[in-house]
Amino acid sequence: MPNPKVVINVIRASVPGMLIALFVFSVLIRLVYMLFLGDSDIVSDSDAYYYLRNAKALCAGESFKNDTHLYAYQPPAYFYFLSVFFWLFGDNLDLVRCVQLLIGSFIPVLVFLISRGFGWPKAGFISAAVVAVYPTMVHYSVSIYSETLFVFLLFTSLLLIQQSYLKSSLMLKLAGGLSLGLAVLTRDAAMLVAIGSIAWFLILYRDFKKAVMNWLVILFAVLVVIFPWTVRNYKIFKTVVPVSTNGGINLYIGNNPEANGTFQWRLPSGVKWNCSPPSGYPKGYYEYQANFTGTKQAVKYIKAHPLKFVQLTIKRTWLFFGPPLNNLSFKSPPIQAIRNYANFGFYSVLFIGSFVVAPFRFRKHRRELLLVLSTILMLSIPYLITFFAERYRLPIIPVMAIISGITLRSFLDLRALQFRFPRFTKTYPGLKEGT
């Protein structure tokens, strides 16, 4: 029988070995949690309920719908993801959870690889370990929600784009754009990342023309992925709907006389919902009208009540970025209470590391910090003007873990006081851990 100390030393000496160990550890954590969770996240009228119902309808040969007369209210990728497994293996929810569990366990690996791309592999293990055990990341890895698939596709694209810069590779850049396009089809809030990614290239190249050319490659790849779905939507609505029709309604939910910064289902006044169109009109007529009217009434409300909008935005910003205090209660079921308190502790540490210590620690490297913080901003803006839910900030957790890991590592290694974070030149990465 091999000596455990020898095995541990071998793993420590090998990056692939440590990544495998990290992946296996992530899998085990999620497996244990899945045994306790059961099917408690699947309730009537939840997103999980609609994901399952409509994925099964796709398997039965029906065309894509979110409901009887809703044709593009939610992005399609996660529905098709589920339907593939139902088609291959039948209605086996445990198998879907296991596959999603494996996908979620790859996210810490992606976090490490991105940190290593910045030149901080040891910090990368700290960040990846945090993501591996972060309670909300674990929870949604085994829940029937689109968050895990979205975060996986998003950080795959970030890694590919980072590597395309380091290796001056057009193919990697295209691959990153394709992955980002799939992320858009999973949660269309990622479109803001596709558009806002020009900020990354302006920071990296400091050359406007070169930045724009690189950004256009990413944007082209994203549009290639979503174009077939946009064409399908045009045939249904007879107008351009790039991905989904929920933007206007979400904006109205977040900006109406009863809005409080969180989700409270409310339709704009005067709209018809989930019903057949008038004779001679496109079958998605009322769905598109609800989206359009929601946007119109939300903008009207914001213009009429600018102070209320500012107050709501401040509240939403606090809910999104602040520690999750609202969920702390011992009256919750035991596993939920444990998860909520652990989530509060982990997030508080990441919040301090990312938004308090890091700006002070790296105050002489503002452009470099801007690269990371701009990514967080892109992922948060849609929810700062609509409404907050805990799962919506899941994509920023790995970003916060990366910057917090680098911050912590810089304090642990005195020689890191001389590092540059990161040096955006052809010799990139310029971060050094004193090794």
198-209 burial, b at 16+ Cβ within 10 Å, e below that, comes to: bbbbbebbeeee
Q: Report how far Cα 213 is from the mean position of its chain's Cα atoms.
A: 26
Tokens describing residue 319 = 């809910």
d(CA 80, CA 76) in angstroms, rounded, equals: 6
Q: What is the dihedral angle through the alpha carbons of 179, 181, 185, 187, rounded to the nearest 10 degrees?
A: 80
DSSP 322: S
Quick one: angle between helices 147-166 and 93-117, nearest 10? 30
d(CA 28, CA 21) in angstroms, rounded, equals: 11
Which residue, among 375, 383, 381, has the nearest Cα to 154 in the 3D structure?
375
Which residue, among 177, 174, 172, has the nearest Cα to 153 in the 3D structure?
177
Tokens describing residue 218 = 């990413």
- The pLDDT tens digits along the chain (435 residues) read 445 444 444 445 467 777 888 899 999 999 988 887 655 555 555 788 888 888 888 887 777 777 777 888 999 999 999 998 888 888 888 888 889 999 999 999 999 999 888 888 888 889 999 999 999 999 899 888 999 999 999 999 999 999 999 888 999 999 999 999 999 999 999 999 999 989 888 888 878 899 999 999 999 999 999 999 999 999 999 999 999 999 999 999 999 999 999 999 998 988 888 888 888 888 889 999 999 999 999 999 999 999 999 999 999 999 999 888 776 666 666 767 777 788 888 999 999 999 999 888 887 777 778 888 889 999 999 999 999 988 999 999 999 999 999 888 877 765 544 444 444 444 344 334 433
Instruction: Tell me the pTM.
Output: 0.90
Tokens describing residue 67 = 């409901």
Would you call the peptide bond into 75 cis, given omega within 30 degrees of 0 as the criterion?
Answer: no
For residues 77 and 185, is the Cβ–Cβ distance under 8 A? Answer: yes
d(CA 423, CA 278) in angstroms, rounded, equals: 60
d(CA 6, CA 373) in angstroms, rounded, equals: 41
d(CA 119, CA 422) in angstroms, rounded, equals: 8
